[in-house]
Amino acid sequence: QQQVKQSPQSLIVQKGGISIINCAYENTAFDYFPWYQQFPGKGPALLIAIRPDVSEKKEGRFTISFNKSAKQFSLHIMDSQPGDSATYFCAASKADSWGKLQFGAGTQVVVTP
Amino acid sequence: GAGVSQSPSNKVTEKGKDVELRCDPISGHTALYWYRQSLGQGLEFLIYFQGNSAPDKSGLPSDRFSAERTGGSVSTLTIQRTQQEDSAVYLCASSSSPYGYTFGSGTRLTVV
């Protein structure tokens, strides 16, 4: 049973557009929600993360929006660039499991020139 | 080292053979994780080591899979009697805090 559900499976966006990826979770004990970016042939790399005490976190062109009551969080990539083309994974964990992450299925983002 | 190192980067093996995959975590990282990534799929948790505690093996898919971590550093994931469904990328990660891992580039295992 997948504990974190991610959508869409794939996404095509034009350069300069906004990419939006959504995730939903069931376990209310989760208290850490990171996003990872993965390029072909590489391992996933931490992109940005949020804790449930805030509703939004922004780092450069990347923003996480968090809705605790709906148990949903999303990644927004503003001004998308071809270099952002990658697979993005959302994840969740709880502090007492010391970071054992449950991952979503991933979203392949393609940014066209 | 500067990052998490995994070897080999690619492994092709015949069905029924045993394989060993190696992970060198970042020096000083107490936590080490193994995940499996099948083609086009998400990351499936396999096993987790934290310091000297007993490992969390809850994600191992069968008793053909085992892992050890020697001296709190290097880890080896062993798959016995490999099957075609074991074909995947095996990713290792390490961490020094409860939040955020550093992944290696993975070992791509192909069982033929």
Per-residue pLDDT tens digits for A20-75: 999 999 999 999 999 999 999 899 999 999 998 899 999 999 999 999 999 999 99
CA distance A32 to A50: 6
Distances (CA, A) of A97 to A101, A110, B26, B58: 9, 34, 20, 12
A49, A89, A103: residue with CB nearest B100: A49
Residue A59 is encoded by which pair of tokens? 């780092």
Residue A5 is encoded by which pair of tokens? 């559900």
- N-term to C-term CA, chain B: 33
* For residue B107, pLDDT beyond 80: yes
Residues listed for chain A: 113
Task: Count Cβ atoms within 10 A of the Cβ of residue A113 and give its class: 0-12 exposed, 13-18 middle, 19 or more buried.
Answer: exposed
Say if the Cβ atoms of B100 and A46 lie within 8 Å.
yes
A45, A100, A101: residue with CB nearest B56: A100
Burial A11-28 (b: 16+ CB within 10 A, else e): bebeeeeebbbbbbbeee
Q: Residue B93: left if φ>0, alpha if ψ -120 to 50, beta else—which one?
A: beta
Check residue B70 and give its pLDDT. 87
Check residue A1 and give its pLDDT. 63
